[in-house]
A = this chain, B = another copy of it.
Amino acid sequence: MSSPSAVESFPAHTSAASQIFTTVLSQGPLTRLEVARRAGLSAAAVTKAVRPLIEAGYLVEDVDEDARPALGRPANLVRVDGGRALFIGVKVTGDTIIGVLTDLCCRILVARHIPLPARDPRAVLGTAAELVRELLIEADGLGVRVAGLGMAVSGDVDRAEGVVRYSPFLEWRDVPLAELAAMTTGLPVTVDNDVRALTVAEQWFGAGVGLSGFAVVTVGAGIGCGLVVHGGVVAGAHGVAGEIGHVTVDPAGPRCHCGNRGCVEAIASDDAIVRQVRAATGVQVADAVEAAGLAHDGVAGAREIYARAGDAIGRGIATVANLLGPERVIISGEGLAAYDLFADHIRDAFATAAFGSAARCDVQIRPLPFDEWARGAAATAIQSFIRSDANQRGRGGEQQP
């Protein structure tokens, strides 16, 4: 295990090298030949690109006892040495900051939550810095340097500039978060929208590996959606994209905070569900957990609300599928704690509203723990780390067929 070293750049200076590393990173141990096939390169190119990465300790070689071919020379597997570098991911929510320490393979080593005293940039930055400090101490204990910090915030975030343009939730405008956090922590900082960050994590380390088009739908306090098209995460021209929460499901439905009626979010967000369950049952449930409890107890009114919410989500997903034809939709988010109340309705509504072959899209319900959002932030940091000086041009995202 190497000791924390000075700033040293990632030794992948060509686009091919970083593509090869990304392939190994996300598709797990592979033989060089297999890497070549998947990255669309010659075996020679892989050999040449892999060597410096092994020398620098980012890749290691394994022998495969299992997947040995029936005949011929056995292959040597190449895989990423997760322990070579650490990353910190931070997700800012309304009342808590969640932080994780991950390795280079984006495996969570330590997770911490800290309550947030206030939502202004100063308070958030201070609290986040405290959290980072704690995680840095953990990292010190491991004797591995932390190579980057990723921060995930909801709203319109300009990742390239590291600026939070507008976060309605935090009531921030044009906060240069990356710069501020870099000054405070001394780490290279990546800032991105929270849903997009989660999408990056799924693309590289989750259910989106190897897909060139998929969607991540998050259900909880809000309804969000991260989209990958042509291998890149969609950011939107004006900072808006993936607003599945404001797809209209029922123009006569409940009013949404956005001003319209019957948005998915006005029917299926935690708040909306709580409000509707109260109205339907007369029980003054305090939060989504209690609302779900009521439904689990078999109270018909509450169950009905969940059914309607699942229906709205399913329709929203069908809209995405009809428009983009993703290979897969991954449904996640803390709202899925009430998983069993939703799932069938989501699937049914999707199947009904999906047009033609769009129904063949693979809909996965994947209840991810809350820490997963912070892991998404770490994933963006890993992404930035790998690209560091290479890839000046890659704007939208890695092309990863």
Contacts and interface: CB of A to CB of B under 8 A. Distances in A.
Q: Looking at chain A's contact residues, is the secondary structure mostly helix, strand, loop, or mixed?
A: loop
A257 B241 CA distance: 30
Interface in A238-280: 238-244, 246-252, 258-260
A71 to B, nearest CB: 31
Interface in A324-362: 324-327, 352-353, 355-358, 360-361
A240 B355 contact: yes
Interface stretch (A121-129, A224-232, A291-299): A224-232
A397 B358 CA distance: 21
B325 A358 contact: no
Nearest to A401: B395
A315 interface: yes
Interface in A146-184: 156, 166, 168
B396 A247 contact: no
B229 A322 contact: no
Interface residues of A, number: 57
A243 B396 contact: no
A100 interface: no
A13 to B, nearest CB: 18
Contacts of A248: 248-249, 315, 319, 353
Contact of A243 (B229, B326, B358, B395): B358
B212 A325 contact: no
A137 interface: no
B360 A238 contact: yes
The copy count of this chain in the complex is: 2
Interface string A27-60: 0000000000000100000000000000000000
B324 A241 contact: yes
B357 A243 contact: no
Nearest to A244: B323
Contacts of A237: 213, 325-327, 360-361
Which of A212, A225, A322, A327 counts the most B-chain CB atoms under 10 A from its CB?
A: A322
Nearest to A212: B396
Contact of A323 (B166, B227, B249, B315): B227
B234 A325 contact: yes
A168 B229 CA distance: 26
Nearest to A40: B393
A282 interface: no
B396 A240 contact: no
B322 A243 contact: yes
Q: Which of A258, A260, A320, A323 gathers the greatest number of chain B CB atoms within 10 Å?
A: A323
Q: Pick the 8 closest A-B CB pairs, nearest first.
A: A236-B325, A238-B357, A243-B322, A241-B325, A237-B327, A246-B355, A240-B358, A229-B229
